[in-house]
Structure 1
Amino acid sequence: MRSKERGLFELYRDDPERADALVFNRRGLLKGSALAAMGAAVGGAIPFSGNMPSGYVPAALAQGAPAGAAPKVLKMDGKADLVILGDKPLVAETPEHLLNDDVTPNDKIFIRNNGVAPDPVSSPDSWEFTVDGEVNNALKLTLGEMKKKFQPVTLALQMECGGNGRSAFEPKASGNQWTNGAISNARWTGIRLKDVLQAAGLKPGAVYTGHYGSDTHLSGDATKPAISRGVPIAKAMEEHTIIAYAVNGGPIPQINGAPLRLIVPGWPGSTSQKWVNRIWIRDREHDGQGMGGTSYRVPIKPMVPGDKADPKNFRILESMPVRSIITNIANGTELKAGTRQVGLRGHAWAGDHSVRDVHVSADFGQTWTTAKVGKAANKYAWQTWTADLKLPDAGYYELWVKATDSNGRSQGHAPGHWNPQGYNGNAMHRVAVLVPA
């Protein structure tokens, strides 16, 4: 009895070489029957099918999920429908179409825990915070005292997990399989870390910070931090690195680090310690939990994808790469019949740098339209972009977006520089839409 052929989604997931053989001819063009099958799979004709590269998997298939594998949605008071990537510890990302706000509201800030979150405190102003180590005057202050002693500042700041975009790597890298939703751009209120460090008086030997929080290690070992990362003194003294006690004009959500957390914008979110209660000033590079091996480290020289890592070839991940997302249209959206032009909107950001250009395409990258890129509210805030694209006929389209930073570095079709834990995965964002006939 002849077995039933698998659908395109299952075929590309389970047997990509067979899928390519069935779908593309020797010149890399879609076979007639395969084009019809792919059109049926995505729900309509593909007007720009001639521009599809050999072996290309449409976004509707690549980002979809087989039956019975729908994303697990977070159900938590005070949070939107985030997608759960892990339960222990809790990790949840914000779908791109929920990130359309200029300023990310509290309910849409992603969640990345490393250990067990502490219980909420009844009196936030009594929270104690310590600065010690390579300082002339060790400080131990309550949050209430800090508010009185130091000048407050409010800034719109991007905060992004180091593994954002990890799911695009092939072969798969270890860790939570983030798509593009490990990002937020909220308005944080707090105290500049440099003001606190200046009050403590840095010694000449001060080189690095070590951050500690009150969350506990998953093992339950109270002597082992859940995570303890740090940054060079120069980044700690940067004007936009703050110790935050409020967000968007109100208390920080407990799950996002209340009552006190660091915000180290442009760098991996793991440096923005939640529930922070101590900063240890070091005379050397910090060696806390999450600072060794390949943890938050990327290759100096490119490595063969899937190969064994050489620890000597790795450096600490610092500034995050350029990235852009479409936020006003969700992947898989069916537009109104007769739609021949679509307005796009989204955000772009580039770690320590700014965004120079954003381009969008509806014909698989054959042509690109320049988007209008707005100014950032302040340094380290994302930049909002808008653009219009023409659609010549009914059918299946992919809306692509790519950004270029102020140093001329651009997003690619796939993430470059494979690494075991999937950092810097900034492949361009693709959104599939269908215009009914």
Structure 2
Amino acid sequence: MNSQPTSHPRRRLLAGSGAALAAAGLGGLAPAARAAGDTPAAAAGTKPLPGYVAWKDPASVIVHSTTTIETRRGSFGTGVLTPSEQLYIRNNLPAPDASVVADRDAWEVEIAGVKNPRRLSVRELKSMGLETLAMVLQCSGNGRGYFPSKPSGTPWQVGAAGCVMWSGVPVRWVADALGGVAGGMAFMTGTGGEKLPEGLDPKTVIVERSVPVAAMADAMLAWEMNGAPIPLAHGGPLRLIVPGYTGVNNIKYVKRLAFTAAETDARIMSHGYRLSPPGGKGDPSQPSVQEMSVKSWINGPGADGGTVKAGLVQVHGVAFGGLHGVSRVEVSLDGGKRWHEARFVGPDLGRYAWRQFVLSAQLPPGAHVLASRATDSAGNVQPEQRAENAGGYNNTSWADHALKVVAA
């Protein structure tokens, strides 16, 4: 009854940990599914994949530019984790030369703002501890394409997000090993290791972001993504992972991690990713785009156009709460007039991961607007309307993300 075909195996999916994941019921993780209208012929009309991500599945993604690639809505499937070859790409600067992943263990990160600051190689970090964490990684502008004001930037719909498994050492363990965080430090500041354009003030282009120091509780210096070394395109050999925070705060190629008394004055922090009023420009007085909030959307049936078969269907999608777990999801078949309790599907991988949900429903012939509305464990309910802002950030509107389908 579902418009999406049966899943097919994915290559390189969680290499090295497949057996353990199969035992946990994750053997068929988020396979690419071609829905009606999302055929190889349709995909052929899009831009080709850039060389540094040639390993991505071209049928599962939309190439907006060399640094912005979106997962197709109909390709999320019904697993929990998003395969690396389907995961979106959003890079503020071009990726470093591939030589940085030739000897991954040699990459070094400077740890500052602790009692015994020093530089640590990935090899040394690996000796300090190991944890694994599932987390939603989402671009701050995911859902920007639904803003009627058409903000500048990539017009993402739902595909600038994914649920990913990271492995690395918790930041708090590293800080403890270096004597603990120094007094008076209110922020954790990560600096990326991209090569900066010459002739410009580094502060105007460097990827450097600060989050509240409390975020270190679950933060991680990660070297593995979905059971394999982090690809260069996604921040390998080492990435700062800050669960519950938008993607820009999860620093790729992290070369410096500092506990600081004040936020960085890098422009990407002081003026970029700020919640400015429509028509305005970002400045330090405005809220920064940091924590994610409760959100959900429907991925099928009919996510990529065409018609669905009338009758019994399985309406399915994903829901997450940012810093909180998801406690409830409701689904509407008529654009929000009536709501029905959905059922969670598959394992709960923790409060930072998303949950798959499903509602069995009868769809009579005709047009339908399928919507979902999530509630997090703190009682926050996904809003009907977006919060208007100049950058098109943090769109959690269930109305915007509703899916129009025709049953026949």
8 Å contact kept, 2:206–2:266: no
8 Å contact kept, 1:79–1:106: yes
Return the alpha-carbon distance in structure 2 between the equivalents of residues 204 and 74 of structure 1: 47
Aligned to 1:290: 268
8 Å contact kept, 1:154–1:190: yes
8 Å contact kept, 1:261–1:273: yes
Cα displacement (A) at 1:372: 0.9
- Cα deviation, 1:10-60, whole Å, max 9, x if unaligned, reads xxxxxxxxxxxxxxxxxxxxxxxxxxxxxxxxxxxxxxxxxxxxxxxxxxx
8 Å contact kept, 2:111–2:257: yes
> Compared with structure 1, are the counterparts of its residues 128 and 309 closer, same or farther at alpha carbon in structure 2 (3 Å cutoff)?
closer
Instruction: State whether structure 2 residue 167 is matched by structure 1 residue 194.
Output: no
Aligned pairs (5 A) from 1:355-366: 355-366=326-337
- Which of 190, 198, 207 in structure 2 is aligned with 1:211? 190
Give the secondary structure class of the aligned counterpart of 2:145: helix
Return the alpha-carbon distance in structure 1 between the equivalents of residues 382 and 260 of structure 2: 36
CA RMSD, aligned part only?
2.4
Cα displacement (A) at 1:258: 0.9
Cα displacement (A) at 1:223: 4.1
Return the alpha-carbon distance in structure 1 between the equivalents of residues 151 and 102 of structure 2: 40
Aligned pairs (5 A) from 1:165-176: 165-176=143-154
Give the secondary structure class of the aligned counterpart of 1:231: strand
Q: TM-score, normalised by structure 1?
A: 0.75
8 Å contact kept, 1:218–1:226: no
Instruction: State whether structure 2 residue 114 is matched by structure 1 residue 135.
Output: yes
Aligned to 2:49: 74
Aligned pairs (5 A) from 1:108-257: 108-120=86-98, 121-132=101-112, 134-148=113-127, 150-200=128-178, 201-217=180-196, 221=200, 223-224=202-203, 225-236=205-216, 238=217, 240-257=218-235
Letter paired with 1:421:
G
Return the alpha-carbon distance in structure 2 between the equivalents of residues 126 and 222 of structure 1: 28
Unaligned runs of 5+ in 2: 1-41
8 Å contact kept, 1:115–1:218: no
Letter paired with 2:333:
A
> Compared with structure 1, are the counterparts of its residues 220 and 183 closer, same or farther at alpha carbon in structure 2 (3 Å cutoff)?
farther
Aligned to 2:306: 333
Cα displacement (A) at 1:221: 4.6
8 Å contact kept, 2:329–2:341: yes
Return the alpha-carbon distance in structure 2 between the equivalents of residues 214 and 79 of structure 1: 23
8 Å contact kept, 1:398–1:433: yes
Aligned pairs (5 A) from 1:23-102: 72=47, 74=49, 76-81=53-58, 82-87=61-66, 90-100=67-77, 101-102=79-80
- Cα deviation, 1:386-409, whole Å, max 9, x if unaligned, reads 1112223x2222222222223333
Letter paired with 1:74:
L
Deviates more, 1:403-412 or 1:110-119: 403-412
- Number of equivalences: 353
Q: TM-score, normalised by structure 2?
A: 0.80
Return the alpha-carbon distance in structure 2 between the equivalents of residues 180 and 73 of structure 1: 20
> Compared with structure 1, are the counterparts of its residues 230 and 345 closer, same or farther at alpha carbon in structure 2 (3 Å cutoff)?
same
Cα displacement (A) at 1:219: 6.1
8 Å contact kept, 1:298–1:316: yes
Return the alpha-carbon distance in structure 2 between the equivalents of residues 362 and 172 of structure 1: 28
Instruction: Give the number of the structure whose alpha-carbon radius of gyration is greater.
Output: 1
Give the secondary structure class of the aligned counterpart of 1:281: strand
Letter paired with 1:119:
D
Return the alpha-carbon distance in structure 1 between the equivalents of residues 280 and 90 of structure 2: 27
- Cα deviation, 1:346-382, whole Å, max 9, x if unaligned, reads 2100110122221112222222111013563122111
Aligned to 2:39: none
Aligned pairs (5 A) from 1:258-277: 258-277=236-255
Letter paired with 2:183:
P
Residue identity over aligned pairs, in percent, reads 33
8 Å contact kept, 1:229–1:289: no
